Chains A and B, each alone.
Chain A
């Protein structure tokens, strides 16, 4: 009866930014990214990719509430980098990884169909 509409969980409302960024006021090189209408799928891969980054001191994400369809991603880096730089880097790396994965898969699939 009072349940939120189904589309609420993946349609970003008008006037709301998909990704917003808030710098930490107390800690240097730390920031929280609020990603609207995303969940563990994005949160977890970005976090894990950030962990591979040597300049990242901390990377974590949370789903604040199951009925709030957003994630909070928190990054702290060394002074060599910045949270925003690390975030972009992570997404670029993931994108490249997926490109590679796609090529691999298509290649293997072609090989498989040829063989059988």
Chain B
């Protein structure tokens, strides 16, 4: 008997193992795993980490020297920039900061930027090089949960100790006590820039004729022509060499197509680039199909907080250096300059100010953006997450255009098709889908050398004729032409294999464009990409055993990536053949979706059965990502439900349905004045006509937690001196009572609500004044007129409450 069952079960097992995995539910497990590793705000954190670890170094290294013009042997040089631990200096003592402390005390959660400075010092008339370590040049606001944050890598218990919610995703800043999220900026449009066709010569003829008419035959003549008033008056501000023709040449070298490097006046690469551009333009004239679609998501780059912040920092750093240099020219003492740098606080203040206002005005880079930061919406957890995945366009939204607003097919899986606001920003403001990742910059040097190793022929070595041989393919890395390769497929496959093996970054995209006879390799930041299951001839690489390992916790999402079961594809590379379900895969299929619902964003994926809804309902629902969820029975009753109104049942409200707690913050500051006087808090009157209003005051003259506070109640019994100006010649004395006037603060809540003093916090603010914060709590139950909604964009107000 036991033998029989044994063999039987084994038989079933074998069958089970041998059968193709068809159940789409199985792969669902990957999504929580993905979110565990990456989270929904990982793109912000990655971007900020990149800025802190790499970008800031680059910026400092690029502007590392201040040299006196008067005495060029005196200089000051930065090296080794790093961000310290979040802290603030308080009465000359450095105090460590935690985000919660900043929120409570209206501080900026920032960390010092340390640099090591080498400078020339003069010792007894002799110049020598000195080094000073850990010079603070400013304070950088720190993104919560980034690598510089105190919360980084902390477990739940440690987070609780720091007063943080373990579920909070981070990815925002705390500036002057308010949480500011940065969001993503989109639409930095990148149109991929890149023979002899008889049709082209016809198009070129007019240009050549014009050259002849203008008597431009030689290179020199051409440069002179460019410099003539007709052409270059636009660049008149340009301060460079003044020789004839040299200015035009330097513009050609430094400004025209600045992305193509010029080594030792070798313009060949640039020439080819221009040629390829012209060719593409002419192709576009002849054949409209070859035109790039500017709304195509593959042509767009997202700008994340790290990048935006780095621009600001670069500008501030350069400004600081320029100002220091001016000082330097006045007094050539490096030590004094160092002192100036230490005293310089514009970096700190500007970073804080810009983050809190959200107005990015960086003249150096011609950047004028408004509303870059938002106050983090804390109406609900989902609302907060939804806020973090928002993508805002760069250009004006008042434009009456439909193109950029339309749903782009290339948006599939990357940007949520539902989540967009109604009204003027409709279709322009977007949200990331669940599994979308936004790339950060990656070093291209290893990729370049790999490409050459894989048989890419350098452009320098090719003749113009060879460039357009139909049998070879152009290899383009981040818009830079590397060279040509004979076998397109072999090269692409080799590159992909390297990526899957982890030899190059997982977010590098290899995109074959057969029409343009190009292979585009992209490793730049800001591309959106998402993970997909790799399929070999239509068979998924993920087998049941992998999923079992995942369920057992033996491996995680990253090991799937490492094992080459899954890879990230960006929008361009996504033009491979992707099957939605495994059962739909054909031998040509290269990839299989992980789960269909990952095309939705955070808010939209919480809608139950969204595919049964009318499409705009899902959009409306996404705009209401807040509140408590309830299971309800619905029926029509009494006529107080017309026009989307809701009839509610009183008993359920009595039992606690829809109850919510509203917290409000009130602040009182004990101001110190120039006259060496300050506000004072005085004992409450226990008798007299005002005693009634001072009931809630404790013996410490401040409202006590737990007290019920009514309208017009005094929550702090404060007095201010009448004369606050400093009168010369007077010395600080104790003022008599008559020199004070009452400046008590009264509660201005609405009549009839039951508000309670929840917490009272005392701390010093940045000006060292005593600041008292009152959290007032008010429990509210649903009333007629309150707004409610289902999870399907069906909102309405409560019309009546029925007994």
Contacts and interface: CB of A to CB of B under 8 A. Distances in A.
Interface in A69-109: none
Contacts of A27: none
A1 B800 contact: no
Considering the complex of A and B, which 7 residue pairs feature the smallest CB-CB distances, nearest first?
Answer: A66-B800, A3-B783, A1-B752, A1-B750, A1-B753, A1-B783, A66-B640
Contacts of A2: 752, 783
B19 interface: no
A51 B800 CA distance: 31
Q: Is the interface of B mostly helix, strand, loop or mixed?
A: loop
A4 to B, nearest CB: 10
Q: Is the interface of A mostly helix, strand, loop or mixed?
A: loop
Interface of A: 1-3, 9, 39, 66
Contacts of B750: 1
Contacts of A3: 783-784
Interface in B631-680: 638, 640
B212 interface: no
B638 A66 contact: yes
Contacts of B803: 9, 39
Interface string B770-803: 0000000000000110000000000000001111
Nearest to A40: B803
Contact of A66 (B751, B753, B783, B802): B802
6 contacts: A1-B752, A1-B753, A3-B783, A3-B784, A66-B638, A66-B801
Contacts of A39: 803
Contacts of B752: 1-2
Nearest to B751: A1
A39 B750 CA distance: 32
B657 to A, nearest CB: 15
Interface string B411-448: 00000000000000000000000000000000000000
Contacts of A1: 750-753, 783
Nearest to B799: A66
A48 to B, nearest CB: 20
A52 B638 CA distance: 27
A39 B752 CA distance: 27
A73 B504 CA distance: 86
Nearest to A3: B783
A66 B641 CA distance: 13
A10 B753 CA distance: 22
B482 to A, nearest CB: 69
- Of the listed residues A1, A39, A66, the one surrounded by the most CB atoms of chain B closer than 10 A to its CB is A66
A3 B638 CA distance: 19
B100 to A, nearest CB: 32
Interface string B352-381: 000000000000000000000000000000
Contacts of B751: 1
A66 B640 CA distance: 9
A5 B783 CA distance: 12
A3 B751 CA distance: 12
A66 B802 CA distance: 8
A93 B784 CA distance: 39
A1 B750 CA distance: 8
B120 to A, nearest CB: 71
Given A3-B783, A66-B801, 14 more contacts: A1-B750, A1-B751, A1-B752, A1-B753, A1-B783, A2-B752, A2-B783, A3-B784, A9-B803, A39-B803, A66-B638, A66-B640, A66-B800, A66-B802
B588 to A, nearest CB: 65
Contacts of B801: 66
A97 B802 CA distance: 29
Contacts of A9: 803
B780 to A, nearest CB: 8
A3 B753 CA distance: 11
Interface string B197-227: 0000000000000000000000000000000
A92 B753 CA distance: 45
A32 B638 CA distance: 23
A8 to B, nearest CB: 12
A62 B558 CA distance: 69
Nearest to A5: B752
A9 B654 CA distance: 15
Nearest to B638: A66
Contacts of B783: 1-3
Interface in B740-790: 750-753, 783-784
B795 to A, nearest CB: 20
A75 to B, nearest CB: 25
B254 to A, nearest CB: 66
A78 to B, nearest CB: 34
A3 to B, nearest CB: 5
